[in-house]
Amino acid sequence: MNEQNKASVTLQDGIVLFKKSDWKNALSVFLYIQADKEEEKREIAYYTGLCYAKLKYYTEAAPHLEKFIAESHDSTRVYQCRMTLAYVYVMSKNIKKAEYELTMLLNNGFESAQLYATLAYAAWSQNTFSRAIEWYEKALSVDADNLTALNGLGFILADSGKDARRGIRYCKKAVEKAPDNPVYLDSLGWAYFMDGRIQDAKKYLYKALTRAPNSSEIKTHISIVENKKE
């Protein structure tokens, strides 16, 4: 936002930019506006937090989202902000806070595959694999086609050594629905590796690498598979 445009900028201008997915310029507007009314201050906190999250500035996003949650009575937006805040905390490795936000949603009667899948990821991040599996299964009971849950459950079943063949089945479902997704291809390749199927593992891991050539995780998996004697 240039100096010439600052004088007449309004909250609505920022909202229009936000709806166009122009997060950077929308954020500039929301940071510039000085609101007097409490309702406008809440709106600014709401959109500022979401813009920061969209731009992956997770540390900056959290206080704005927290402010909106604390002051708003709009249950739909509070749900959205708690889900976003949980994701922000997961990405910044603050798993306990992420779990708190998700648990608050559950306690208030909210339920979604996304919520359960995020809880599963939080559990996985703490190496509590059995709990992660339970949450992913809960996500799939709500939405059997949820790709995040299919991939996450498949990967954990294989990677933890609990049931690699079952893990392959879930990972394959995710790949069938999103055949160009490098994360899903990597998970399927790794699941095949954990089941001892080296050639199948290489096939999908190299497919994943062509789609995400800078992924350190995929490169690590390929290195492990290549050094494994069949």
Q: What is the DSSP string of 10-57?
A: -HHHHHHHHHTT-HHHHHHHHHH----SHHHHHHHHHHHHHHHHHTT-
The model carries a pTM of 0.77
- Residues 178-204, mean pLDDT to the nearest whole number: 97
> Residue 5's pLDDT is what?
54
- Show the 3-state SS of 151-193: HHHHHHHHHCCCCHHHHHHHHHHHHHHCCCCHHHHHHHHHHHH
DSSP character for 230?
-
User: How much is the mean pLDDT over the chain?
Assistant: 93
Residues of the chain with CATH 1.25.40.10: 1-110, 136-230
Check pLDDT > 70 for residue 160: yes
> Residue 4's pLDDT is what?
43
Q: Report whether 53 contacts 69 (CB < 8 A).
A: no
CATH 1.25.40.10 corresponds to the domain 1-110? yes
C-alpha to C-alpha distance for 193 and 53, rounded to whole angstroms: 35
- Residues 174-197, mean pLDDT to the nearest whole number: 98
In the structure encoding, which two tokens stand for residue 217, read together? 């995780």
> Residue 110's pLDDT is what?
87
CATH number, span 136-230: 1.25.40.10
C-alpha to C-alpha distance for 30 and 171, rounded to whole angstroms: 41
Tens of pLDDT, residue by residue over 89-147, are 988 889 889 989 998 998 988 889 999 999 999 899 888 999 999 999 999 999 999 99
Check pLDDT > 50 for residue 11: yes
Most distant pair of Cα atoms in the chain: their distance:
69
